[in-house]
Every structure is written in structure tokens, then in C-alpha cells.
Structure 1
Amino acid sequence: MNRLLFERSTGLLSPQAFARIQTTGLIHAIQPCPKLRFDGGEKEVAITDDEPGESSLGTVETKLWAHQAGVNALALDIDSRILLSGGLDSSIKLWDLADCLEGLKCVLKPTALISRAASAHKYGVTHLSFYPFDSAAFLSSSYDHHLKLYATETQEVSADFDLQSIVYTHTLSPIAQHLLVACATQHPAVRLVDLRSGASTHSLAGHHGALLSLAWSPKLDHILASGGVDGTVRIWDIRKSSGALGLLDMEDSTGITGTDGMGKNARSRDAGKAHQGAVNGITWTDDGDYIVTAGHDERVRVWNAATCSNTLASFGPTLKNGHLSNLPLVMSPTASTPVGQEVFFYPSEKELLMFDLHEGRLLKRLKVPGPNMASVRSRTGERNVKNRITGLVFRGQADGVYSAHTDGQIRAWLPKTAEDAKLDKEEEDSHKRHAEDDEDEEGRKKRRVLDDVFRDLTRQKISFG
């Protein structure tokens, strides 16, 4: 660190390079942070048995959940401060991450709640997203076939769209002037909803079966990628009447020559599959140069967005993916790491895997804390579910990752450097010393009392009549 500061002060290292070295180190230092917990207010108090030989009746153990029925979705606003969570019980909660001081043990409580009511969803929330340019509004979709627009401050519904089919996910363009929301539903066509007019403008037909994943290009506001249960990933230009630009083909490592990313002067491709199973995960790098897809064949593929070619990056046999729902895929911002060294986060059931995006090299394997099976409560009663990651968001440039889980928890994965670990160890040792000192003082007090009692007894004269 001292060497970096010296090189920065002498001009040998540019401010941008210095910042990337720092943020890269923080990203690679991400690990579970049990100090930060989310308490949604749904508590269950259980009496646990004491250790054998103890005389008390029991101890009270309080469990905390963000959503007791399970958490289905997460979203962060543009300031990376307000976290949205959507539950299987259809509730939506808002959390202010600024309420928790870094490095301190903290239990966050929701700042607002949208419960099961007439204006809320009837069934579980499937996806959440903030408006890209303003955190004053957010969107939610649900198994109840509805897409809803809320005001963040009042939590009131501003618009409600009935798509007459289960909505697995939705997405807004991060750069577009238009207000089109692309929705992936049980219907085999991409549904486009215009928030400005309040109408479903048109559909993009071509898939054979339900759609599970969608992602807008972060570079071109009219380009959209979609993935479905038919194993295909289609690229669309929403300005065209037909819409289709082509398909991603896992057998093609050369790509479509002559394309400029806008479908001009390129040969078309109307056959081919991106995965051998359903495609339930799609995302772009934030510079728009690469598309990343995941499928039920338990493979992740990275595609050159300009040529639509398979880069042949191999992520190994550790991936797990088999649920009929949208799989959240997250990457570190391109500005946070050196060029071509983005970190890819993959939710593999009970693990959060960190990969080098372009090499497919496994960087870190983080196990989700807690049991593999969890007991959750829903409208139909209590049941056991397999604990897995259902939502994932990356905060800021290198401020960590937040994950949603079927056991009802929201978990934080924050950077912890060697310096942080050293400070925690010193703090723990300090607490231990204080505890030992307190214990010794208590022992001394007890010994003094016993000594006083003994002296009092020995001073008394005992006579036998």
C-alpha cells in the first residue's frame, strides 16, 4: 500500500490505475458478512433446551427474517443506497443501507413496507427494478400476471398492467429515452409495455415456449436480448417491424462478419441454440461489449456482442442451475478492474462463485451460511425448502454484493481486507481480555464474601452443653 501511495504521489501511477488497483483488491476480498442482518419484523420465538446439568427452564432464541416466506428478488437504486426486496408472500420492503455503519454489527429494519393489500400483488414477487434515471419510482412483477409501477416515497401504485400470463422478469433500458419495459412471460413473445402511454405497444415473436430472461444493451437503446425454455437467445431491434436480428449459436466461435452491432451489412442467422436447456440468465457487461448467458445445461457462455460469436470461455463443472425462474447474473463494473479482468458472480444454489469473466477461472467459492434446508412460513402453512440464492445485486464500484434467499434471509457479502481482519482480531482480543478481567473481578468478589463468612463463623465460640 505504501508503495502504491508513493507511485501515485510521484506520478508513476495514474489516478485511474490507482483506483482500479484498489477496487480490484476490494472485489477479490469479498466474503460473507454475518454482522449485517435484515429484520423484516416477522419474528418467531423458540424455547431451546439447556445444556445437561443446568437448572434453568430454557433459553429464548429469536429468529430474524427479511421475508419469512422467502425472498425472491432484490434491486438497488442508482445511488446504491435504497435496497428493495420482494417476498414469496407478495410483500415488498425498502431498506436504507446507509443506516448501517461499516465495520459495526448491525440489524437493519425496513423503512417502508408494501404488504398484501388490494394495491399490492396477490402472489409472490418475481422481479424488482428501479427506474434507471431516478429512484423516485420502481417496478415489480409477479406470479399474479401483473407488472406494477410504484412511487418510492409513498409506495403507492402509479400504474398497473395485466399481462395475462406469469411474468418471470422485466427490464428497463439503462440509457434509453423511451420508457419501454420488456417483459418475459409464459407467452412465447417478448411483451413491450410503454409506461408513458400505459399500453402494451407490441410483441416480439420468435421463441417457442416461455421466456425466462431479458436484458437491454447498455450501449444501444433499441437492442434487446431474450432467452427462453427453447434454449435460444435472440437479439432484437425494437425499431424493426419483424424485430429479429438473429440468434446466438454455441457452435459458432467465428461470429457474423460484417455486422456493426446494429444488424447492418451482416448475414442473418435463423437457426442455432445458445444452450442445450432453458436459458434463464442473461446480462451484458456495462460497456456493452459482451453478453453473458446461463442455461439449464449448467453452462455459462460469454458472447462477443459485435459479432455474436461464442468466446469459448469455460467455467468448469461446478455450476448448478435447474429452476424454472430467472437466474440473477452479476458482474463487477468494467471501471473497477483492469481491462478484460471483470469478476463474474454466479449464484450456484448454496454457493456464490466468483469467476474471471473471460478466462472462466474460479477465483473464490463462497458458501452461503446456514443449513441447506430451511423452514419457511407461507399462506398454506410451514414447509421446508432447499436454501438457494434467488436474487443478486452488486453495490457501487466495489461495495460488495447482496443476495436474496429462499430461507427468508438477505445476506451481505462485503470486502474484508487483511487490514480489516487484523482490526477485527484486535477488537475480538480486546473484548476477550475485558471479559476475562470482568470474570476475574467477579471471582475475587465471591472469594472475599466466602472469606468473610468463614471468618465470622470461626470467631464465634461454640459450646457443647
Structure 2
Amino acid sequence: MNQLLFDRATGSLDPQSFARVQTASLIHATQLSMKIRFDGSEKETTVSSQNSSVHSETQIDEGKAKIWAHQLGVNALTIEKFNGKILISGGADSSIKLWDLEQIPHNTKATLPLRPYAAVPRTVSSHQYGITHLSFYPFDSGAFLSSSYDHHLKLYSTETLQLSADFDLEHIVYHHALSPKADHLLVACATEYPAVRLTDLRTGARTHSLAGHRGAVLNVCWHPTIGHILASAGVDGTVRVWDVRKSSGSLGVLNLEDPTGIVGCDGLGQGARQPNSGKAHDGPVNGLKWTDDGKYVVSAGHDERIRVWDAATGANTLASFGPMIKNRHPSHLPLLLSATNLTAAREELFFYPNEKELLVFELHEGKLLKRLRVPGPVANTVRSSTGARNARHRFTSLARRNQVDGIYSGHTDGQIRAWIPRTKDDETEDVNEEEERSGRVNDEEGPRRKRQPLNDVFRDLTRQRITFG
């Protein structure tokens, strides 16, 4: 660190490179924070040893992990991107809760129970089944979208939690997405229906569908810089690219057997002929993500493979991530990529939720850099009004708070966990704080310990008989 500061002060390191080195070191230092706990103020149902009647009581022993964000499991997370203050979580019980992340201090030695400051109560107008996906309105954190197994897509006000719009898509909605760059307000929805459903927030109507998948669509993702380009993934193993302005829509599919791509294709439907057949994975594809510069697409499927695609040509880059990849659930699989300007060229980091651990890879080489695991047993017993269940801490959702302020994950055991960068400077500061606290506790013992040698000398002298000749 001192060398970096010296290089920056002398001008041998430009500001962009300095920021890149610092940011990369923080990302590499990400680890689980055991001090941050999300307490949804829900009670566990227990059976009394003296009375067989069932009653509820609040568990206050945090060491036994008896607090939850959502007792029946966390299905979705999202964090507003402007200042990273608000986190919204959606549960398997259809509840939606809002958390203020600014309540988390930067340095704390005690366990911090964070509680939601607002929630969407279960009413006739709210979701009736589990939440599948949450997202903030991309241009203003004053609104957010939620989708559910109850076939509905809903728009809420973040401040008042009032329902602003409700769309019945008549099929389970697995995932939805709004373009971060477009001037339109089309919401792309991945549903049971074998086509991408587009809904216009301005008019409140479903505009049209993008047909081509042979089965349910599990994931949709807009191009990060071009507002009319959309990618979708489905149970048929295909990843399709669309231009929503065209009547036919389809620009082609990604083919796992094509390592060269189409020469002359610019990824925007111009140039050479697009491929219309082929699969991206030998099984359902439930993970899909563009890099923030739009140059690459990352996909993950039930064949337990991760593939990186050149967006300009559609070529499979043949990046290999090893045999440890696990992916067996049909729900949307969250993928996180580091910003391209925060690392050296082609050294972007890729965060993959591998069932019960978070794997950190180099995106283009597929090299495993870190395995972030949840300590303790892989399952906990949860007792609720619906009975006892053995809940595993499988990852269901990921959300990043800015680029270096940590990652938050939702799990099937009802927990929201925080993965925070911890550098050597932070650890040194914690040790110093612990020593200061120990010093304050032992203030009375310290001086007493220092006076003890003098007391011993005085006692020995006074015990000796002194004679004068």
C-alpha cells in the first residue's frame, strides 16, 4: 500500500491504474462477514417439553442461528445502484422486505442484527405465492418491480410501498428485466410460456411476444449499452438474441459447437447471416449475463457448464471452469461480473453461486481464484406454522452493493449473508481495537501488576532483621 501511494504521489502511477489496483485488491479480499445478521423479526414455532401444545417464542440466542430474514427462504435480492443504500428481499412466503444498508457500521466487533424498516404486507393486492425476482427501476430508485409464481408482475413505489401497476401474465414468471439504457420502458419477462413476453410500463399493456424457444424461458437480459438488443435463455438449451424493433425479432442463437463465430457479424443483426439452430448447453439454461461493455455473454446451464461467448461473432470462447460446477435447479441462477474498468484487460472476475459456496473465477481463463463457503452445517431445522423442515443454505440470489462495498446473498435457509472485503489493514485495526478494549477492562489490574515487583522487594526488606554494630 505504501509503495502504491508513493508511486501515485510521484506520478509513476496514473489515477486510473491506482484505482484499478485498489479496487481489484478489495474484490479479491471479499469474505463472509459473521457480524452482520438480517433479522426479519419472525418467530420460530417450538414444542414445549412440559406441554404438547405448540406455541411461538422469539429466539434470542444468535449463536444457534435462529433468526431469519425470511423464515421460509429467501428467493430474490436487489440493491439500488445509485448509492447502494436500500436492499429489497423477496421470500418464498411472498413477503417483500426493505433494509437500510447504511445502518451497517464499517467496523464492528459485535454481531449486528439488522431489521427491515418497511415491508409489503400480504393483502389481496400483493403477491400470493413466492417471489421469483426483484429489480429496481433502472433510472430512479423510487420504484421497483417484483415477479412471482402467482403469474403476476407488479410495480411498487419504494417510499410508500403502494402498488402502481399489476400485470397478469397468465404463467409463472421466472425472471424479468428492464433495459438500463433504452428510452422505452419495455419489461422483458421469462415465463412458462415458450416466448419472451414484453410489457410496456407506459401504456400498461403487453406489446408483443418473441417466439422461438421450445419450452419455458428461464432468463432474460438486456444489452448493457444498446437498448433494443435482448438475450434470452430457456429449458430447450438455447440462448437467443433478439432485436425488439424487428417484426421477426430473432437475430440468431448461440451454438456451443461454434468456436469461430460468424465472420462479419457485428452482433446487432447487421453483416453476415445469423445462425438459427444449435444449442448453447445440453440442458436448460438458467444463468445469463452480459459483461458491462457488451462484448461478451456468459451463460450457465444444467449440463453444469459455464460458457463465455463473443457477442460480436457469437463464438464460443472455450473458456473452461473445471468440473466442480453445480447447477440443478430450474429457477433463475444469479451471476455477477466485476466491472471491466476495475481490472486489467481480460482479467474480469466472475462470481458463481455453486449451490452452497460462492466461487470466484477469472472470467476468460476460467481459473478458480477463491472459494467462499458458509461455515457450519449445510442444513438447519426450521419450525414454522407449516411444520418442521430441513433447510439447506443453497444460494438463491446475489446482489452487489456498488463494486467494492460487498456482495449480499439470499439462501434457502432463510438467511441473507454479507460478503465484505477484508484487507490486512482492516484486520490490524480490529486487533488494535481488541487490545484497547482489553486494556480498558484491565485498567485496574495493569497498575497493580506493575507495582507487584516493588511490593515484593519492600516486603523482603522489612522481613530481614537489621542490626547495628
- Under a length normalisation based on structure 2, what TM-score does the superposition of the two structures give? 0.88
Q: 1:50-79 CA distances to partner (integer Å, 9 max, x unpaired)?
A: xxxxxxxxx962521111111000001122
Partner of 2:458: none
Partner of 1:354: 360
* 1:204 counterpart (200, 204, 210): 210
Asked whether 1:9 is paired with 2:17, we answer no
Decide whether the 8 Å contact of 2:407 with 2:419 is kept in 1: yes
Superposed, 1:298-337 pairs within 5 Å as 298-337=304-343
Shift of the 435–173 alpha-carbon distance from structure 1 to 2, 3 Å rule, reads same
Name the CA distance, whole Å, in 2 between partners of 1:216 and 1:181.
10
Name the CA distance, whole Å, in 1 between partners of 2:409 and 2:202.
32
Superposed, 1:175-214 pairs within 5 Å as 175-214=181-220
Q: Alpha-carbon deviation of 1:215?
A: 0.5
Q: Alpha-carbon deviation of 1:382?
A: 2.7
Task: Give me the identity figure in percent.
Answer: 62
Q: Alpha-carbon deviation of 1:436?
A: 6.5
- Under a length normalisation based on structure 1, what TM-score does the superposition of the two structures give? 0.89
Aligned length: 432
Name the CA distance, whole Å, in 2 between partners of 1:45 and 1:11.
63
Q: Alpha-carbon deviation of 1:359?
A: 0.5
Q: 1:297-350 CA distances to partner (integer Å, 9 max, x unpaired)?
A: 111100111111111110001111100100000011112212211110000011
Partner of 2:417: 411
Q: Alpha-carbon deviation of 1:433?
A: 5.6
SS at match of 2:61: strand
Partner of 1:78: 81
Q: Alpha-carbon deviation of 1:115?
A: 2.2
Decide whether the 8 Å contact of 1:48 with 1:60 is kept in 2: no
Decide whether the 8 Å contact of 1:168 with 1:212 is kept in 2: yes
Partner of 1:243: 249
Decide whether the 8 Å contact of 1:248 with 1:273 is kept in 2: yes
SS at match of 1:25: helix
Q: Alpha-carbon deviation of 1:180?
A: 0.3
* 2:104 counterpart (100, 105, 118): 100
Decide whether the 8 Å contact of 2:399 with 2:409 is kept in 1: yes
Q: Alpha-carbon deviation of 1:31?
A: 0.3
Structure 1 gap ranges (5+): 50-58, 442-465
Give the partner amino acid of 1:240. Answer: K
Name the CA distance, whole Å, in 2 between partners of 1:380 and 1:78.
36
Name the CA distance, whole Å, in 2 between partners of 1:336 and 1:97.
23
Shift of the 9–317 alpha-carbon distance from structure 1 to 2, 3 Å rule, reads same
Shift of the 232–45 alpha-carbon distance from structure 1 to 2, 3 Å rule, reads closer
Name the CA distance, whole Å, in 1 between partners of 2:26 and 2:206.
43
Name the CA distance, whole Å, in 2 between partners of 1:233 and 1:255.
14
* 1:133 counterpart (130, 139, 144): 139
Q: Alpha-carbon deviation of 1:386?
A: 2.5
Q: Alpha-carbon deviation of 1:171?
A: 0.5
375-384 or 130-139, larger mean C-alpha shift: 375-384
Decide whether the 8 Å contact of 1:84 with 1:95 is kept in 2: yes
Decide whether the 8 Å contact of 2:136 with 2:143 is kept in 1: yes
* 2:180 counterpart (158, 162, 174): 174
State the Cα RMSD in Å. Answer: 2.1
Asked whether 1:87 is paired with 2:91, we answer yes
Partner of 1:373: 379
Superposed, 1:362-401 pairs within 5 Å as 362-376=368-382, 380-401=386-407
